[in-house]
Structures are given as C-alpha cells and as structure tokens.
Structure 1
Amino acid sequence: MSESSPIGHGGRLTIDLAALRANWRVLAQAAECPETAAVIKADAYGCGIARAAPALWAEGCRTFFVAHLSEALTAREAVPEAAIYVLNGFPPGRAPAYRAAALRPVLGSHDEIAEWAAANRDEGVIRPAALHVDTGMNRLGLSVPEGLGLAGDPLVRQAGIDLLMSHLVSAEVEHDPLTDHQAAAFARLRAAYPGIRASLANSSGDFLPSCRADLARPGYALYGGNPRPGRDNPMRPVVRLEAGILQIREVAAGETAGYNARWTAPGPRRLATLSLGYADGFPRASTGRGEAVVGGARCPFVGNVSMDLIILDVTGAPREALFRGAPATLIGDGLDLDAVGRSAGTIGYEILTNLGRRYERIYRD
C-alpha cells in the first residue's frame, strides 16, 4: 500500500493466479486420479470465479463444482466448454435452467432423480448428472442402502448418471476411523455401479490412497489452505491482504482504545489504525487475538475490531516502517489463512470466503 494507491479502498487483496494453477498441479499429482477437478463455489472461495476458473482451465482443469445455480451460470460464462456440476441438490422446477446452460445437477434423492429423468425423457436427450450417496455426513444424498438399492434401476440410465460421489467428513484428521468407514462404504457403491466414474477425494482426501477414485475434487487447498493440518503446507499462498495505516498515535499507560474500552495500555504504547474491519470480512472475534505484520514485526490487534477500522499496537515495529500509508499485512508474510482463522476462533475457510468486496483487487499471473 502507498499514498499512490487508488483512493476509495481500505485494503488491497492480491490474488496470485499462478499460485492457484501451481496448487492445482500439486493436488492433481498427489491425487493420482485419472482426472482432477476444481471446486469453485463461494465465488472460487472468495477469489472470483470469473478469473479463477479460466486460469484453472488454461492449466488443464476440465471439470468444476459449484454450490448453486447462480454460481454455475457465472462459471459457464467463464469456462464455456467445461463440465460444471451443481452440488447443492436440484431445486424443483429448475430443469429448464440447468439444461439451457448445459449444467449437471448433483442428485441426492429419489424425487430429484425422477424429476431429472423425466426432463431427459421429455426432451428426448439424456443430459448427464451426478449421483450423491451420503456415507457419513448426514446432510445431502441418498443413504448407502438407498444407493445400493438403486443400482441396476433403469432410472439411473434415464437420469444420465455419469458420476457417483460422496463427501468426506474429516479427511484432514489423520487416521480418523470415520474416513476408513466412508472409504469402505464407497468401495461397495463403486462395485455396484460399474462403468460409472466415481469421486470421493476432497483437498485432504487427495493425500489418502483409500479415497482415490476416478475424479478428485479439491477446493480449499487450491487457494492456499493446508490440506494436512499439523504438517508443512505443500500449497503456495494465493491471497495476500494488506491495508495502509491511516493514523499513528502515542498513548499513555492507563488509556483505553476502541469500543467499550476493552483494551487498556499497560504502559506507553504506539497505536496505528487500519481502514478495514468486520464489514470487510475480518471477524470481530479476532479482537485481542489477531495480528498484522508491519515492517517485519508482528503487531497485535487492540480494542474491538469495528465495522471499518482495526487498531494495532505497533510499539514493537521499526520506526521507519511507521508512516501514513505504510503497509500492514493481515494475510501473508507468515500469517497464513489457517493461522488467521485460528486467531479468530474459526477456520481458514471462513476467513477466505468472507473477504469483502470493498478491497482493491489485484490479480497476478
């Protein structure tokens, strides 16, 4: 950040598309599957479908997953030739919209399967869809007995099922017995649906041999999140968030800062204020626990994170790094997504997908 930065933005979010593409290559290699897709829901985890999807397509990704129809339509504009699956079920009566944009619903109930099959019959063209069988999440999808019972039913062909999938519960937890249970159930399902591609591995599942199938579908790790918590992160950072210092002030021992005077200076301190807050997706829960990097020094948040402002204690930062417009890094310079999530009592996924729209956004490739 500098005083030459465009006026009107409190922070700058830099998105490294080259790192995104490199992460896809790493995950494809780890997964050892015939094909590796990309999950680009939540606007490509906050990075922007319109820029992320074409970058991944250029790298060789041909299949994408989104959550909602609206996201799928955005993705279709970005990657016109891609296979696009819509994860969050198949809303009643929306077959025409899916079919007009050549989208593939992920079907998880008998009603959804029957409605899509009926649309195929009415049009006289069998358009593809995925079959979702729940192996332990208890959110969406047929139960395992339902999935096994449907195998061989003509409805499967009529619904154009070209992908069998399930969703891992805790693949990031090493040696979790639930993952083994899910992998075993999914193996039974695969055997019941010969000739249909299968997909189980998410970002963490890419590193688990028992979860490999025909199609890997990483998400969070593509954007720099660690798929193997507790180990070194093999992914390159994709996002960097900086904000310029608005003002610097000296406070005496006993003075307070921020709403409700939740912080009291333990001695003479130097404070700096940044122009971003929870309206920009930086959680209020990071109050008293978050940090930013100024001049190479970790500087803690003090006072409540407010809607548009965050106060830092920059007493330990080099004086030459403290001036109006000087950069403070909130994601980057050692503060990775997972660390920022922990400091807010949440996870990196939430930090990433909540990054606001008031930032100046810069894409690098």
Structure 2
Amino acid sequence: MEPPLHAEACSSRLDIDLDALRANYRMLAERVAPARCGAVVKANAYGLGVARVGAALHREGCRTFFVAQLCEAGPLAGVVGPDATIFILNGLDPGSEAACAAAGAVPVLNSLSQVARWRAHARALGRTLPAALQVDSGMSRLGLPAEDAIALAADPALARELDLRLLMTHLACADEPGRAANANQLAAFRALAAHFPTVPASIANSGGVFLPADFHGDLARPGVALFGVDPGPDARGLRPVVRLDARVLQIRTVAAGAGVGYGLDHVASAPQRLATIALGYADGWPRCLGGMGGAWHRGARLPIVGRVSMDSLTVDIGALAEGDLAEGDFVEFLGPSQSLADVARNAGTIAYEILTRLGARHARIFVEDGNAEVVLPGENP
C-alpha cells in the first residue's frame, strides 16, 4: 500500500502491519489455551509504538500487558482502558510506590525490599494493593530466591496487605528447547508455586509458548513473537510485522582505485556503480554491517560497501540494469527479501536488538484493515 503523501517528508519508512500483529497474537493465544495470553510491550512495544500496538492488541482481546518500567505504564493505559491490567516487570524503584498505586499498575515484586515497601504503602493507604511476585528459578537475574518466597508464603499478614495476582519466573533458555535448564527451571518453579496454590502462575515467554504445554501455566507472556520474530527453532507460523525501506540519495559510477566512505575502507577494483542510501546508525542500522550487509531491490541483493555512516550508507548496484534504480527510489532493508533474523545473523546479534534499535527518523506507517496511518518523526507513535 502506498503511504499518504506527507510520508514523503521522510527518507525512510517503517511499515508496521497491525493485521499481522493481531494474527500473531491469535496464533499464540490459541497455542497456549486454555491458559490466558498476555502481551509484553515494553520499550515502546519493542520500538514500534506502544500506542498503536497496544490498542491493536486490545482490539484483538488482550487484557494483560507487561512493561518493564513504571514510566511506560501511562502511555499504554491511555489506549488499553480500565479493563486491562498492566504489570511492571522491573517492580518498584524506591520512592515510586505512590505513583504506582495512583497509576493503577501492578508491580512485579522481585526482592524482599520491594515487597516491604509495597506492603508499607498498603498499610499507609489502609487498603490491600495488587501485586505480582517473581521468583528466581535459576536465571539469577530478577526474582526472590526460594527461601524468601517460602517465607513470604508463610506470612499470614501478607494476604491482608497484598492481593497477589500472579506468581512468575523467567526462562533463561526457552529459545533452546533441548536445554535441560528448561526442565530444571520448570521443576523449581512448580515447587515454589506449590506454596502459593491460589495464585495464577506464569513461566512462558515467547520461546516458552513453543515448549510443551507444561510450560504454559495459567498465563503466557509473549513479547518478540508478537512482532513476527521466531523465538526458537520450533516456532512456526508467525507473520512478519515490520518492513523497512530507505531512499536512494545519489547514484554514481566510480573509477577503479576509488575509495568509498569513511576511512576509504572499500576500494573499487574496477569501475563500480554505487548508490548512497539515506540510512545509517542513527536510524538503528548496525555500523558493523559495513562491508558485509546489504539491501534489496527487485530481487537483487545490493551489498553495502564501505562503512555505515550516521545518516547514510553506500551499496553496490552492479546487479541492477541501468535505469532500474533512480534517485528518490526506495530499497528494502527489512521485508520479504531480508528478515530481522537475517540482519541479526549478519550483524552478530539477535533480532531483539535490531528491532528495538530502529530509530526515530523513520516515518512509521501503521497498516490495519486496508487503512494506513502515518506517524511522522516527533509525533507519538
């Protein structure tokens, strides 16, 4: 779908297929049923825009959302409404208790100090406050150690102060189904969950959704899988959500022996046709892809030559016939020819990092039900 005219003010555009996002949520929800399915939309919905993403997921029936920090709850609450629950995965920063209670968010308490501060605030308010508990089942990142969780479960005053909505843990190796660590974490979590028999349990992240049903618990919380990234070798059926295209700024032919880009790292061995593209590391394109990554146009790969600059990079267009590419045309960086996983593999990283680093200068074009909404840089996506 061609974007509306005012998107032409931008030299790059990021298409976000909300229909595909909703289809991915439906597939994930069906896979974990009868468990419920939530959605992790932290980091501004992995960089895509939490307002549109959150609203689309809410329209699809999602009522449980997870963000990382309390500051992320406000923009999400404004679009998902009062019938949704927003959990704060990082829990409570010291001094944020009043703000969290006022926002109606549910903190995921990860330590005894967080629990103590939230309980104290409940006593000060004279009412029970909602909370989730995270227990450490073996990842050694966030969560209560087993002995602390068991001690809390035995505290008769806990239920008078906290309304526990969820008991959760996080899998360290869910993207590697064969790892024994997964079964070990599940066993450890079940042992702790037995001390909280009336509290819903959650262990499955995106990768966990594709593990056996024992891992689905009462609530799954997929994140990156919503955006079409396969979270493991057994994941199938997810639809790509993002496409990134950037404009050709200039086309030239350089002579043999000409250096290209900063440091003149690339030297043409023969006359070479080049296109300079309006995409750089300020737009989230990894600098390490200089000399090894590529763009695509009409089925042809256009290798990046020289370094990736802040605002531009250069590609070899020798695979294209004269006239197949002109200044102002767009070439593909993410899309049918090159996935997030492809780019991540070339950059020596993971698709999560590529997705969340995509910059603020792209025109974001949200497509849903045959309609396109353009959000320009500086506007709130």
Listed as ranges, the gaps of 5+ residues in structure 1 are none
How many residue pairs get matched?
A: 364
In 1, the alpha carbon distance for the partners of 2:229 and 2:141 equals: 24
- The 8 Å contact of residues 35 and 216 in structure 2, kept in 1 or not, is answered as no
Q: Secondary structure at the match of 1:321?
A: coil
1:239 aligns with 2:239: no
In 2, the alpha carbon distance for the partners of 1:242 and 1:324 equals: 14
1:131 aligns with 2:133: yes
- The 8 Å contact of residues 203 and 220 in structure 2, kept in 1 or not, is answered as yes
In 2, the alpha carbon distance for the partners of 1:356 and 1:141 equals: 32
1:218 aligns with 2:233: no
The equivalent of 1:191 in structure 2 is 194
Q: CA deviation at 1:148?
A: 2.6
1:39 is matched by which residue type in structure 2?
V
Listed as ranges, the gaps of 5+ residues in structure 2 are 369-381
The equivalent of 1:95 in structure 2 is 97
In 1, the alpha carbon distance for the partners of 2:313 and 2:4 equals: 19
1:75-224 → structure 2 map (5 Å cutoff): 75-81=76-82, 82-157=84-159, 158-209=161-212, 210-224=214-228
The equivalent of 2:254 in structure 1 is 251
Q: CA deviation at 1:146?
A: 2.2
Q: CA deviation at 1:149?
A: 3.0
In 2, the alpha carbon distance for the partners of 1:116 and 1:2 equals: 47
Q: CA deviation at 1:32?
A: 2.7
Q: CA deviation at 1:145?
A: 2.8
The equivalent of 1:295 in structure 2 is 298
In 2, the alpha carbon distance for the partners of 1:241 and 1:74 equals: 25
User: Cα deviation per residue 1:149-196 (whole Å; 9 max; x = unaligned)?
Assistant: 322323531222210000110100121111111011111112111010
Q: Secondary structure at the match of 1:168?
A: coil
Q: CA deviation at 1:232?
A: 6.6
Q: CA deviation at 1:62?
A: 0.2
The equivalent of 1:12 in structure 2 is 13
1:17 is matched by which residue type in structure 2?
L
2:241 is matched by which residue type in structure 1?
V
2:260 is matched by which residue type in structure 1?
A
The equivalent of 2:374 in structure 1 is none
Q: For residues 282 and 80 of structure 1, do their structure 2 counterparts lie closer, same or farther at Cα, with a shift above 3 Å needed? A: same
Q: CA deviation at 1:21?
A: 0.6
Q: Secondary structure at the match of 1:139?
A: coil
The equivalent of 2:63 in structure 1 is 62
Alpha carbon RMSD of aligned pairs, Å? 1.7
User: Cα deviation per residue 1:248-274 (whole Å; 9 max; x = unaligned)?
Assistant: 111222222110011122322211111
Q: Secondary structure at the match of 2:194?
A: helix
In 2, the alpha carbon distance for the partners of 1:356 and 1:120 equals: 40
1:260 aligns with 2:263: yes
In 2, the alpha carbon distance for the partners of 1:38 and 1:335 equals: 26
1:24 aligns with 2:25: yes
Q: For residues 256 and 2 of structure 1, do their structure 2 counterparts lie closer, same or farther at Cα, with a shift above 3 Å needed? A: farther
In 2, the alpha carbon distance for the partners of 1:148 and 1:282 equals: 46
Q: For residues 354 and 143 of structure 1, do their structure 2 counterparts lie closer, same or farther at Cα, with a shift above 3 Å needed? A: same
- The 8 Å contact of residues 299 and 337 in structure 2, kept in 1 or not, is answered as no
2:315 is matched by which residue type in structure 1?
L
In 1, the alpha carbon distance for the partners of 2:28 and 2:235 equals: 15
In 2, the alpha carbon distance for the partners of 1:156 and 1:330 equals: 52
User: Cα deviation per residue 1:79-100 (whole Å; 9 max; x = unaligned)?
Assistant: 1221000011211121111111
The equivalent of 2:377 in structure 1 is none
1:253 is matched by which residue type in structure 2?
A
1:35 is matched by which residue type in structure 2?
R
Q: Secondary structure at the match of 2:231?
A: coil
User: Cα deviation per residue 1:53-105 (whole Å; 9 max; x = unaligned)?
Assistant: 01000100000000111111111112122100001121112111111110000
Q: For residues 261 and 234 of structure 1, do their structure 2 counterparts lie closer, same or farther at Cα, with a shift above 3 Å needed? A: same
